[in-house]
Structure 1
Amino acid sequence: MPTARIFQRPKNAMQSGRYRTDRWQLEFEPAEAKKPDPLTGWAGSGDTRDQVRLGFPTSQAAIDYCEKQGWTYTVIPAPEKTLKLQSYADNFR
């Protein structure tokens, strides 16, 4: 039985806006460890569920989908957003 992780997508380091950070994502826990390929040296495994990522508008929609499929799941709460308010003049103190 697969185990799924449900989490809210974090903002990319190269991203200044909040595009698609309100979406929730479902990924599967890895079933086996990755090992280096002898020919190329790339890390890989025979687990194809690692390639599956499903997007949902809310966490409840992702939970409902997991329960409908009979999968166990873990919900990782979204981190609290904190704003660091400062003015331009604070750079010169």
Structure 2
Amino acid sequence: MSLVKTSARIFQPPRSAMQSGRANTHEWVLVFTPPGRPRLDPLTGWIGSGETTKQLRLVFPTREAAMAYAKAQGIAYEVEEPARARPIKPKVYADNFRTNRPDNWTH
């Protein structure tokens, strides 16, 4: 299959729910969108297709690099802007035992 007929999505992946920091969230990812609906295999009943581009996940250091790759390969693409990151407020364990806490101790 020719890559000219396919389209792609370029985005910056969000951090994992298991992460508290911003590690591994600075790269940009290009994934191919499926060209059609998956089909039902009559023998096994499983859903699948012969399309292998949905298995690809290309990682780029910048959005511009991902866009340049898509343009060079003739791939139609759509860029999704990342959500604004909230600032991380540092927490200090000693603040739990301050005498002038703004809220009551909950234990």
Fold in common (TM above 0.5): yes
Number of residue-to-residue matches in the alignment: 92
Per the alignment, residue 74 of structure 1 pairs with 78
Larger Rg: 2
Q: CA deviation at 1:9?
A: 1.1
Q: Alignment partner of 2:17: what SS? A: coil
Amino acid at match of 2:31: E
Q: Alignment partner of 2:65: what SS? A: helix
If the length of structure 2 is used for normalisation, what is the TM-score? 0.70
If the length of structure 1 is used for normalisation, what is the TM-score? 0.80
Q: Alignment partner of 1:81: what SS? A: coil
Report the identity percentage. 40
Determine if contact 1:32/1:45 at 8 Å carries over to the other structure: no
Q: Alignment partner of 1:22: what SS? A: coil
Q: Which runs of 5+ in 1 are unaligned?
A: none
Residues in 2 aligned to 1:54 and 1:48: alpha-carbon distance in whole angstroms: 14
Q: Which runs of 5+ in 2 are unaligned?
A: none
RMSD: 2.6
**Quick one: structure 1 residues 14 and 90, their matched pair in 2 at CA, closer, same or farther if it must change by over 3 Å?**
farther
Q: Alignment partner of 1:62: what SS? A: helix
Q: CA deviation at 1:45?
A: 1.9
